[in-house]
Amino acid sequence: GGKEDISVQILAALGALATGRPVKYSFSRRESIAVSGKRHATRLRYSLGVDAEGRITALKARIDALAGAYASVEEAVILRSASFAGGPYTIPAADVVARAVYQTHAPACAMRGFGNPVATFGAEMTMNRIAEALGMDPLELRLRNALEAGKPTLTGDRPSTSVGIKECLEAVRGALAGYEPPDLGEGWSSGIGVACSYKNVGLGIGMEDSAGASGEVLADGTLLLRIGAVDMGQGSNSAMAQILSARLGWPISRIQVHSADTMLDPLAGMTTASRQTFITGNAVLAMADRLEEELAAFASEISGIPREELSLSGSAFRRRGSGRTVATLAELAATAGSRGRNLSAQARYVAPATRFSLKEPPQGYGTAAEGALHAAYCFAAQATSLSVHLPTGTIKVHDVFIACDAGRVINRAAVEGQMQGGVMMGLGYALSEEYRERLGVPETDSFGKLGIPRIGQTPRIHCFIIENPHAQGPFGAKGMGELPLSMGAPSAAHAVRRAAGVWIHSLPLRPEKILAALKEAGGGTRSAKR
């Protein structure tokens, strides 16, 4: 999320203007930690009402986020905290207030999840406490209240397509059937915690969300795709090439992606909000439609066969009826090159309009589209299996079971990579990561002091991908950039409760907090496995 805020950019730009030369500005690790924005530290107060059958009747939430000393994107962050405050459930009545509080502290900025992880912690911790009070399976409680297509979210949005939270919960429940945590021996107690969440795909909230794409056939048979999206390792370039290849039948090995050059490539907007697969992907599809027409017209021109008798199939234009190959895509590229003919197309995709208001009017919205807060949502559920060493409060995570509804999957390896990375980021957020200041000076000024997990702490991660295509996504795809980290903290805290018998309501779940809670509860000698 730090890419959305300012650190070195202005200094480097001023240097370039002053010298007329390229300028590179580098921070040391200590300087970077001191200057960069942080995730909003947040205080949550939740009240949730349910009936005797466990159906939610009302929610009251107060969310106070520490914004730091200067204005950044906190208004947008707390807006997301408010809109996702209740989790992926149908809630008949809600009273939610989210505030950003300025204080002498390092400025807070965007970070993966953008207000969603903190709200998920509040909602899911409350759901798990409700389940325990009712003596109900926490997965069953969620299934009874889970959002369905056509049902309202907290804000009155009624998504009509690709609402896969129930499938995610069922996948996790199925994975846990027959699962037994490893027995670490004397002093260790095990537990399994669960949580779920959902997150927007695209900017939404009344903002225009658009992206462009252009394609050009080169003489050597390469198809040059230009997009503005920045691939920072999330795999957007590969996904766009796959979408184009699937649409035209152009071999992916012959597609060259050029991206993120503001002088040469079409605008793609922000690389944020898990939006590129949905927004830029649709732009690539629209461009491919136009390029097909260019190719078809050229094939008709060189063959003398009317355009309406040609169809694209298997990397070649064929004559309808007979199926005879008229010209392959490679042949068209070579012929166009020899004739100096430019075969190219461009398109711009604009996502459906959304609204800004979080409050549904008393009479409701006339149509689902009228009440849309976002173009799409992705959904996820997670179970975390861990053990607590009761004498010391140490936590050992064994297995994580995560199920995500990302719509139609474009690149399975990339989606699983996002899920695995999100799980580890979520566990770091839950168990060890913490930034501290004293009188405005960072005390945590290195990676080691920040408590970021190391590779050796990675548990077994079991990924379940739910393909629930979205009607407006490219080939039904949505997005999967941010959501996988949101369930880590509440599922880990729930697992600690089941292992050690204590609720820890603050993050990270450090050993000293567990020992203090055990002492306060009169425990400390509990050793039975759960």
Query: Which among 191, 188, 192 is positioned nearest to 527, based on CA atoms?
Result: 188
Those residues with Cβ within 8 angstroms of residue 325's Cβ, 6 or more apart along the chain or in another chain = 316, 317, 318
In one-letter notation, the amino acid at residue 406 is A
The Cβ of residue 527 has, within 10 Å, a number of other Cβ atoms equal to: 10
Candidates 301, 482, 512, 520; catalytic one: 482
Q: How far apart are CA 404 and CA 13, in angstroms?
A: 40
Q: Is 482 a catalytic residue?
A: yes
Query: Which among 86, 92, 93, 91 is positioned nearest to 196, based on CA atoms?
Result: 86
Those residues with Cβ within 8 angstroms of residue 193's Cβ, 6 or more apart along the chain or in another chain = 128, 383, 384, 386, 490, 491, 492, 493, 494, 495, 496, 497, 498
Helix %, strand %, coil % of the chain (to 5): 35, 25, 40
In one-letter notation, the amino acid at residue 345 is A
> What is the 3-class SS of 132-201, one letter each residue?
HHHCCCHHHHHHHHECCCCCCCCCCCCCCCCCCHHHHHHHHHHHHCCCCCCCCCCCEEEEEEEEEEEEEE
Residues with catalytic function: 482
